[in-house]
Amino acid sequence: MHVTVNGVRLYVDIEGAGLVPDGPRMREKPTLVLLHGGPGFDHSMYKPAFAALSDIAQIVYYDHRGCGRSENGPADRWTLDQWGDDVRTLCDTLGIEKPIVLGTSFGGFVAQAYATRHPGHAAKLILVSTAAKCDFQQVYAAFARLGGPEAEKAARNYWSAPSDTTRAVYSRLCVPLYAPRARRDDGAWVARAITRNETGVHFNGPGNEHGRFDFKDALARVSCPVLVMAGDRDPITPIAFSEQISACLPPGHVQFRRFPDCGHGIVADDREGALQAIRDFVLA
């Protein structure tokens, strides 16, 4: 279905009932709102794995503006401030109070924008394979370690000068390094996804908002519990980025989970371990 949010129709899909029979009463499950990566991909990256959590939470999938099945809206509103505000307005429109918001990669950037612009709105926050600020030199070094000179060159060429051409080479040489332990069939989500290159090219790289955003100071305003999850073989958001997020959050509010031998795709590399960590955090 589509829901109009801040003047743009966003594609939304919902899995699981919000109210379930529990003896003589109806029990309300928490709502888990999933923010996908990219930008330029869609929510299908979470399917079917996250269906396993529908027994403990109602799951809301949606495509960010400019992504997937959602409308573009003006390109000058493809900003983290706007994407973060869209999360808040989507929840208000759907009547979701105190959501648990999970963002992966770019979705984690959006989750931080939402949480720092609307502190107190979320019940909990889950940040997976993401960054409070991007250090591209660390990214290039990580691709060099994992993929050699060709991968490093492809990463430098794309991130320094995003275009359809450099993105195609990056997708071929670098994206397979995101999830080194993934089962072969897990790569099918890339084929299933609606890819919107223009959104990624608009956002990505040191010269665009990707290189300008910095949530390090603003994270001190986050008052809800936060789970930070990171793989120690992640080339695009190296684990040091997640360690920095944890250090910037208020003490006592953050749990940090390191996933050994996992890349950017923690759920792809260690589905059982990643989903169990999320389940435990939701139920805590």
Q: Please give the model's pTM, rounded to 2 decimal places.
A: 0.95
Within-domain flag for 57: yes
Q: Is residue 161 part of a domain?
A: no
The C-alpha atoms of residue 179 and residue 235 are separated, in whole angstroms, by: 9
Q: Tell me whether residue 166 is in a domain.
A: no
Whether 231 is covered by a domain: the verdict is yes
Q: In this predicted structure, what is the pLDDT of residue 186?
A: 57
Which residues, 6 or more positions from 106, have their beta carbon under 8 angstroms from its beta carbon? 36, 37, 38, 39, 130, 203
Digit-coded pLDDT (tens) for 91-119:
999 999 999 999 999 999 999 999 999 99
151 and 180 Cβ atoms separated by less than 8 Å: no
Q: What is the CATH number of the domain that holds 41?
A: 3.40.50.1820
How much is the average pLDDT of 56-61? 98
Tokens of 216: 């390090």
Query: What local confidence, expressed as pLDDT, does residue 187 receive?
Result: 60
pLDDT tens, residue by residue, 247-264: 999 989 999 999 999 999
Residue 120: inside a domain, yes or no?
Answer: yes
DSSP 115-176: HHHSTTS-SEEEEES--SS--HHHHHHHHHHHHHHHHHHHHHHHHHS--HHHHHHHHHHTGG
Residue 165 falls inside a structural domain? no
Residue at 99 is within a domain: yes
In this model, does residue 179 exceed pLDDT 90? no
Q: How many domains does the chain fold into?
A: 1
pLDDT band at 208 (very low <50, low <70, confident <90, very high): very high
State the residue range of the domain holding 49: 2-135+180-283
